[in-house]
A and B are shown apart, each in its own frame.
Chain A
Amino acid sequence: DAGVTQSPTHLIKTRGQQVTLRCSPKSGHDTVSWYQQALGQGPQFIFQYYEEEERQRGNFPDRFSGHQFPNYSSELNVNALLLGDSALYLCASSLGPGAYEQYFGPGTRLTVT
């Protein structure tokens, strides 16, 4: 039973570029949430996808967008990258948006230079 997987593991981009991060949820899970975690900080909620729609959104600008596919996998897109977007991006999956528990992936480390 595969857990939550994310790709790529590491990524280096230049300011102004665009990036796409990918997440495959744990088998049987239908809800994916994305978090940004700056160094030394706790994760900050970006948004949650359920039934291929964005259900909830945290305090992040429109440069951050996402998508969920029919197989429940998800993408996080960030446009016009800023230096401050450098962080560990975590994906978490759950069974339903109000789930008892969510499982985290290993994260994607994004560095913007």
Chain B
Amino acid sequence: KNQVEQSPQSLIILEGKNCTLQCNYTVSPFSNLRWYKQDTGRGPVSLTIMTFSENTKSNGRYTATLDADTKQSSLHITASQLSDSASYICVVSGGNQFYFGTGTSLTVIP
């Protein structure tokens, strides 16, 4: 069964600290993996997208990694800011379908 699982479900960190979010998937065939940031009540906004051959992709303070062999991805956020508080969703594309994780809710506190 094609699934995308994210952990942790929620996370609270202090402003300025780093954090790492995890995404494990069982989607096959695999096309690409994206990380989205979704503010409450808003549409998701793309952060990074990686294909099978890409191991890492950065977008400012966001760095995503992909291990296609173990079917794992991580999103690392450096020097967190209050505006990073949001849900982070991992989406895996394969076979013309998009499979969504349930997201990690990140709260950054001062």
Binding site for B on A (CB under 8 A): 4, 6, 33, 35, 41-45, 56, 88, 90, 97-98, 100-107, 109
Contact = CB atoms under 8 A, between A and B. Distances in A.
A107 B38 CA distance: 11
B45 A104 contact: yes
Nearest to A96: B96
Contacts of B41: 88, 107, 109
Interface string B53-74: 0000000000000000000000
Contacts, number: 46
A22 B39 CA distance: 21
Interface in B95-110: 96-98, 100-103
Nearest to B101: A42
A41 B46 CA distance: 18
Nearest to B51: A100
Given A42-B101, A42-B102, A43-B100, A100 B44 contact: no
